[in-house]
Chains A and B, each alone.
Chain A
């Protein structure tokens, strides 16, 4: 059964380990987001060269979310809209970031591969699946833009620290115990394929 609980961000490692794949959660607090491959490459360079990234990530989150922020009249920033991007694009880079910064939560849509699942298990980190095409809902959960880094990049590639309230519901797609809905669903679909093809053959014979 899915359960819905609200989690304070940044997520504690203990809380991350308490979640199970398939659970549904809401997020309150601060998250860090980007939808850019060049951004994630820069963060990996920070890790490799021992530099602090422009927005600290240690023990925090990195969500694959793209956003459009603009300056407000009061001198602040507002996010006009926000939505997830495909996480598998970052498969090769995420294990390094998860381990180096001890991330407790990552997210986006479509999941991450086995190398990431292993890093998440070691570190105590979960993957949260956001609704794609959920911009009206996700954007409404943003309370404030705390910080924007890498202004030389296009808007959705920038690294952004946000305060959110009630962001979600999000599905725990990968838990901190090595369970990935994405891997298990793929495995199940592959295992089911002979049966699916046999049913197609039977249907074709029936239709003939």
Chain B
């Protein structure tokens, strides 16, 4: 049976709603490990409050952050999926329906960058990236609302034939720029190579990888491990008021490129909003995160 406009619209709205009221399981586990390892007393209190806030949000169905961000979706369409209706419009209409029905209401965060006027709608909103999965009969939608903490401190610089030392020094420069600002402990995403837009997308996708997962590329797995140690050696700590835990994870990925090598660095704040589900060819919806 086809994957319909209605199914995609309903799921888009639901994923956004779910993302606002819970912290992903891998992230809570990461916070728990950080709390056990943290040596700074104030930082332990802040980490414990984070876990308490996550528990209360889930138990009472509350928003964990007042800033619901703007709707960001990543949609992967299987090449064997049969689609019915305007799937692109379904994402946008799903968000509109959520705005109209969600309780409590969302604050207006969609901003016209030319006037700074805020509302629920705007040009190219929701922000959607599209991907294709060879042979699959499903459509997968990942929702990752972005707000100031998770969006404002990202940066990109283009190098010529950089060494790993230069790449890692740049990551640390961006970490230092963000400092206490991005609601740490964060998930750091690093994208290396490709082109300007590809590097940024790789970095963003890297933040979506579950915390605790190992990078299949040994070179990157080692880089992630040493960068995580380096980021946490800065001492900014939870909420940037000091401690051992500035990041829960550093995730790195790359694409081959030309030799001019963009390096993109982005962050997700500690609540790490992320929900993901698939609509299968038989019409069933499978919640993955």
Contact = CB atoms under 8 A, between A and B. Distances in A.
Given A66-B67, A81-B104, A135-B63, A200 B235 contact: no
A196 B234 contact: yes
A200 B230 contact: yes
B239 A129 contact: yes
A154 B108 contact: yes
B217 interface: no
Contacts of A166: none
B176 A189 contact: yes
A109 B184 CA distance: 11
B239 A132 contact: yes
Interface in A30-49: 35
Nearest to A203: B226
A208 to B, nearest CB: 9
A131 B65 contact: no
Contacts of B67: 66, 83, 85
Interface string B214-238: 0000010010011101100111110
A55 interface: no
A181 B236 CA distance: 9
A201 B165 contact: yes
B107 A186 contact: no
A162 B143 CA distance: 34
Contacts of B64: 133, 135-136
Interface residues of B, number: 56
B45 A189 contact: no
B46 interface: yes
A2 to B, nearest CB: 5
Contacts of A70: 104-105
B148 interface: yes
Contact of A68 (B104, B164, B227, B236): B104
A131 B46 contact: yes
Contacts of A86: 148-149, 152, 181
A186 B183 contact: no
Given A111-B180, A156-B107, A200-B168, A192 B42 contact: no
B169 A197 contact: yes
Contacts of B270: 132-133
Interface string A54-89: 000000000000111010000000001111011010
Contacts of B237: 185
Contact of A1 (B41, B176, B242): B41
A133 B241 contact: no
Nearest to B221: A207
A171 B50 contact: no
Contacts of B88: none
Given A85-B148, A110-B181, A133-B269, A169 B45 contact: yes
Nearest to A195: B233
Contact of B107 (A111, A154, A182): A154
A70 B60 CA distance: 19
Given A109-B183, A207-B222, A189 B235 contact: yes
A92 interface: no
Contact of B50 (A111, A133, A186, A189): A133
Nearest to B103: A80
Interface in B153-188: 164-165, 168-169, 172, 176, 179-181, 183
A136 B241 contact: no
A137 B179 contact: no
Contacts of B183: 109, 132-133
B118 interface: yes
Interface of B: 23, 41-42, 45-46, 49-50, 52-54, 56-57, 60, 62-67, 104-105, 107-108, 118, 148-149, 152, 164-165, 168-169, 172, 176, 179-181, 183, 219, 222, 225-227, 229-230, 233-237, 239-242, 269-271
Interface of A: 1-2, 22, 24, 35, 66-68, 70, 80-83, 85-86, 88, 109-111, 129, 131-137, 139-140, 154-156, 169, 171, 173, 181-182, 185-186, 188-190, 192-193, 195-197, 199-201, 203-204, 207
15 contacts: A68-B66, A70-B104, A86-B152, A131-B46, A132-B65, A133-B183, A135-B64, A136-B63, A171-B241, A173-B241, A185-B236, A186-B176, A193-B172, A200-B172, A204-B168
Given A83-B65, A200-B168, 14 more contacts: A22-B242, A86-B148, A86-B181, A131-B49, A136-B57, A154-B107, A154-B118, A171-B46, A196-B230, A197-B168, A199-B226, A201-B165, A203-B225, A207-B222
